[in-house]
Structure 1
């Protein structure tokens, strides 16, 4: 039984310290990336609307692969681009038509769940990347929380407080075990 408790304590400590290290890594990497973390060369983004449902759910995270040549997309590709009215807003929609205009190309896009196409064609200069099919539902809500100031504070403080409480508990347990050994008569 003592061996089981010893291993349970070690595993609990590893989990708590691992959680703290992971949270510190997530907070720092998202802050260093300027809000869009990168994993294996793909930008991780949060889906904020239901325009691409049911394939891409609201609150999911998706991986966007940056592209070198934004003029080679075809009908059916899903791209992420800057909105024409707000360059800080990113939209991920499917290309429904490719139009050649003079010496360049324009893409007509539409969300899978939308009734109408997007109001403005998308030029190659507005394209950020291509959606490669990787999505994890609901994790985007957690990522948005992590990237907020409140989330960063909670995700650093809560595991830190858990570590301190676990350490206090471990010290208290060790002291009571030492006291019980002193009280036990030898003989």
Structure 2
């Protein structure tokens, strides 16, 4: 019974460990690839971005699109600047592009194309929420964007609900502590416990073998002593007979 319980406990712990290793591995891959790809994580040939606003958080029946919200993760098909320059996207496509905000910070926006200016090589984009509220499509009014072809970095493909929240949490100090540091520390302590247990078992087994060897040696000596006594008795009897 105890052995079965031990096996089940070990099995469960191994599963938990595997899950944490997988999460940590994905986190490391995302962190590494984001440094290699201008801050955009890449996995299995696809690029992923965490949604940081609700500018696309509405349904668009014209394009059968349910929207995505802050905390979701989106998958995009990545384009190099030279590919983006020679690829003409269409009205209705959702693209990700480089954008500098009013504070001069470079960021990525993912909005829908509402105009294509082929000769001048730029698009006008707008979030679906702004479009639904009939906001101005003039980029100068702040509710739409003029995007040069070369600034496009990807095309939207899919929404993964809430996964962005997970990675935002992991990227924070508390999330990293809870999901990465504490499990690794627990694993380290668990492995130390297993090593100590295995060492004690090995030492006890070695003691048992040593004790057994000593017992065998003492038994052999006792047999030899009895044989000598028996030989001595036989010798004494022969001398008396003579």
Q: TM-score range by the shorter chain?
A: 0.7 to 0.9
Matches within 5 A, 1:52-131: 52-54=56-58, 55-68=67-80, 69-70=83-84, 71-85=87-101, 86=104, 88-101=106-119, 104-114=120-130, 115=133, 116=135, 117=137, 118-131=143-156
Indicate the residue corresponding to 1:22 in structure 2: 22
Aligned residues: 172
Name the counterpart of 1:49.
53
Return the match for 2:161 from 133, 137, 146.
137
In the alignment, structure 1 residue 152 sits paired with structure 2 residue 176: yes
Q: TM-score, normalised by structure 2?
A: 0.61
> Residue 89 of structure 2: SS of its match in structure 1?
coil
What is the CA deviation profile of residues 139-158 of structure 1, one whole-angstrom value per residue up to 9, with x for unaligned ones? 10111222334433433212
- Work out which of the two has the higher radius of gyration on C-alpha atoms and give 1 or 2: 2
Residue 107 of structure 1 and its aligned partner are, at CA, apart by: 0.9
Higher relative contact order (CA 8 A, sep 6+): 1
SS of residue matched to 1:146 = helix
Hey, which of these two has a bigger chunk of helix by percent?
Answer: 2
CA distance in 2, matches of 1:165, 1:59: 34
Structure 2: unaligned runs, 5 residues or longer: 59-66, 138-142, 201-242
Query: Secondary structure, in 3 states, of the residue corresponding to 1:122?
Result: strand
Answer yes or no: is the 8 Å Cα contact 1:93–1:112 preserved in 2: yes
CA separation of 1:148 and 1:137: change in aligned 2, threshold 3 A = same
Asked whether the 8 Å contact 1:50–1:57 carries over to 2, the reply is yes
**1:78 to partner: Cα distance:** 0.3
Per-residue deviation, residues 54-82 of structure 1 (Å, max 9, x unmatched): 31122001111112532410001000011
Distance 1:16 1:129 in 2: 36
Structure 1: 5+ residue stretches without partners: 176-187
Task: Please state how far the C-alpha of 1:52 moved relative to its aligned partner.
Answer: 0.7
